[in-house]
Structure 1
C-alpha cells in the first residue's frame, strides 16, 4: 500500500541530535512534514528545527519524554485536535548507562529500559489507532547491533535493543493487514557525542573491526530509513536490517 493520497507527516523521536536529527532531515528532504520530539530544551534542538523547517516548511519540534505515558498521550491528543494524522514514525530516542552486570544498579537498568523499550512501546501504541483508521503507516525502530550480537557491559542496553527487534517482528504480523509496515534498523559503531571524546588510538582500534574501515555516520542510517519510508520499500516489513559496515565482533 502507498500513501499517494495522504499527506505524509513523520514523527521522529530523539530528533535533537545524532541519528534522530539526520533521519528528521532525510525525511524532510523526501517531502514529508516532520515533527521531531526530544526530552529537554536545547540550543542544538533549536538549530535542528531551523534546518528541518528550511527544507520542509511547517515542520516542528516538540518536547516529550517518551517514557512518560501521560506526556505521550497529551502529544497525540494534540495531533488529534489539530486533525494531524502521523503517517510515518521513527522511534530513535535512546540512552545508555554501561557497566558490568555485577555493578549495574537498579536505576541504571530501569532508566535504560524505560527510555529505550517502554518509550518505543508508548509512542508506537499511540500511533497505531489513527494509522489503522487511515489504512496506512510506516514505522522504523532504531535498534543496534548490541541487540543482535550482545555487547559486554551493556546488558540493559542490549536487552532493550533486542526487545525492540522482537517487538518489530510482532507488530509487523499484527499490523500488516491494516496497511502498516514495521521494520527496525540496527546500526553499528556510530560517530556521536560519545565518540568525540575517544582518543585517536581508540577510534583506530574500533575502525579496524569494520570491513569498510571507517566510522559509521548518522547519515548512513538516515539513508536506509529514507528508503524504508519510500514506496520502493512497500513490500518490506518485519525485518531487522543491520547497517554496520561489516563490523566483525
Structure 2
C-alpha cells in the first residue's frame, strides 16, 4: 500500500486549523503539499503532517511565521531535537502553571502580612539546601551587597509584579528552549535574550535605566554553563541549552552592552 494522502480539507480537520490557513502556509512556502493533482488539488503526506505539527508548536510559542520558516528550512534542523525542545518548553509551561496555582495565594498572603524577611521564598521550586547553595554561588560571583540589594528589591515588590516576573521568567525560558536549534545570534533568539536581559535587571534590583555591564551579563552566561542547576528541567541539567544561552548572551553583550 502506498502512503496515505490527505486533502486540504482532511488535513485542516485533522489538525484543527482552517483551510484558509493551509492555503496561506502554502503561499508562504511554509507548508507545501507533497502532490498537486492535475486538477490543482493539494494533497499532503506523512512528512507534511509532521511539518505542520512543528509549525503549530512554534506558533503556540508565538514565533512569527517568517522565523518558523527560517528555523525549519535550516539545513541543520533536526525533527527529534526540535521535539525534545518542545517537550522541555511544555514541561516549563506546566511547571509555571502548577507553581502559580499552588503558590501565588500563599505568596500574596505572605507579602500582605510583610513577613517575607528571608530569601528562601525568592527561590521557590528548589529544595532548601539547593537554594542556599545557589545564593552562596551568586554571592561569590557578584558580592553579598549586590545579592542583598536584589533580595530587598524583590521582597518590596507588589504581589502582582512578583507574579508577573515569575511568569515572564518561565515564558522566556520556554521560548528560548523552543529556539535552541536556531543560531544564537539570530533575530528571534536575540529578541528573547533582550527580554531575558530586562528580566535580570529587575531581579537584580537595578534602578530604571541602570545597565548591566557586559562583563557581568557574560558572567551570568558562564554561570549557567558551570552550574547545571540553573538550566535544569525537573532536576536534570541541560548542558546543551546552557551553552546555547551563553552564546546568545555573549552576542547580546558584545553588540548591545558596554
Q: TM-score range by the shorter chain?
A: under 0.3
Q: TM-score, normalised by structure 2?
A: 0.25
Which structure has greater strand proportion? 1
Q: Which has the higher contact order (CA 8 A, sep 6+)?
A: 1
Q: Could you say which structure has the larger radius of gyration?
A: 2
Which structure has greater helix proportion? 2
Q: TM-score, normalised by structure 1?
A: 0.25
